[in-house]
Amino acid sequence: MITTTTPMEGAILKLPCLRTVSRNPKFTNRSSVSLLWRSRPLHVSASAASSPPLVEDPKLGPGSLGHITRSDFPILHQEINGSKLVYLDNAATSQKPTAVIKALQNYYEAYNSNVHRGIHYLSAKATDEYESARQKVANFINAGKAREIIFTRNATEAINLVAYSWGLSNLKPGDEIVTTIAEHHSAIVPWQIVAQKTGAVLKFVNLTEDEVPDVVQLRDSLSRRTKLLVMHHVSNVLASVLPMDEVISWAHDVGAKVLVDACQSVPHMVVDVKNLDADFLVGSSHKMCGPTGVGFLYGKSEILSGMPPFLGGGEMIADVYLDHSTYAEPPSRFEAGTPAIGEAIGLGAAIDYLCEIGMQQVHDYEMELSSYLYDRLSSVSDVRIYGPAPSRTVKRAPLCSFNVKDVHPTDIATFLDQQHGVAIRSGHHCAQPLHRYLGISASARASLHFYNTKDDVDRFVDALKDTINFFTSFK
């Protein structure tokens, strides 16, 4: 059954040479290998593809990717509440390697200046590095042109940019926006607002019995009335991975545009916008080892060129007169005011770091560690894990959202932190409609990145067992 929300119901409700970081001697040369996800080949983008194993045996023991890269992340080497930190909140934000921290420091110490309009050395240097970061993002997701990348504050702002610029200009009463009940709030609320303003209708696709967004129902719901499909690539709660190449093809068959929320996929796997044929795709720096305060929107150049400005001010204009203004071409049209220069440069450094490893290697290691997490967590009594069970054909993303019978997830997260130094997330993870659908108000979530290790998982599960024993002792 598809849930439909009417507008009234919604109311209630110059390219510089690229700079790379110094090559880490821990990393060996790597060759390209094909990526399998849900037993389907994904095409590898040019910048992210170099990838043979970092070690002869890319498993989970000493010498694994997690052990090799851990020393690059200073924050991980500390004690929290008397225990060694185990950081498993990566779906909320990732940690930052030394290379990124130094890139930010170098910007502020050596060439801090505003970009684009200065002719002095510092401004030219800052501009080169800022635009270099844009090119790095484009290369990383295999966009055809750097001007198809727009820097925003975060992925939420990127979605709102599309909603207010493209949405308000193109949607009319009766048009349909299709999405799923498993979306992050940032992919729901902007479209509720746009639907209220335009008379468009929001349609929500539900889950299958396996707790995966129902792509068959989604396909059947598409029609010539569908003007936009908004979907996550990887769920931040269910750990499910959607076949976006097929889904995008179905939407294009009926003339609809597609916006992909790639916040949970770009940091963990190869994402290629050309092969996906996505119209829009958003990502967030802080989830991919970059700084907070910057994200990006990819948009096909022919679509961006036809969109009006999102914000007005400096940088986004061609000429300003007292009675009207004319606007710059993208991406400047959508980057009003002084941007987050240092943060964008830091994002570029993060991409350099990830490319030194190779996204294929990141993906392969995380799949091994993800399976280990699921197996260990599912063996704990009274634990309910949400999302699909892993199999030969279904690969889960590196996270587990779960609940423990008769123990509130916030109590679990608090005890893990205060008694064991284990950092996980509790709450609704900005996915209240999904939690209501699952019949719960909140869940606990442990989420991995490539710098995590098997030991992190073991310490988490052992600490969770102690946590459960503590709370059940009062019954």
Catalytic residue IDs: 430
Q: Are strands 79-80 and 383-385 parallel, antiparallel or unpaired?
A: unpaired
For residues 154 and 376, give the distance between their C-alpha atoms in angstroms, rounded to a whole number. Answer: 34
Give yes or no for a contact between 146 and 332, defined as CB atoms under 8 angstroms apart.
Answer: no
d(CA 44, CA 36): 11
Q: How far apart are CA 52 and CA 32, in angstroms?
A: 6
26 SS3 class:
coil
Q: Which contiguous run of DSSP H or E holds residue 172?
A: none
Checking DSSP bridges between strand 86-87 and strand 422-423, what pairing results, if any? parallel
Instruction: Report the C-alpha gap between 67 and 380 in whole angstroms.
Output: 26
Give the three-state DSSP class for 446: strand
Give the Cβ contact number of residue 206 at 10 Å.
15
Reported in sequence order, the residue ranges of 72-205 that DSSP labels E, i.e. its strands, are: 79-80, 83-84, 86-87, 149-152, 176-180, 201-205
Give CA 262 to chain center in angstroms: 5
| 100 vs 399: CA distance, rounded Å | 24
* CA 158 distance to own-chain centroid: 12
294: three-class secondary structure by DSSP: coil
Tokens of 344: 């964008």
Kind of pairing, strands 3-5 and 425-427? unpaired
By CB atoms closer than 10 A (0-12, 13-18, 19+), residue 376 is middle
φ/ψ of residue 366, rounded to 5: -65, -30
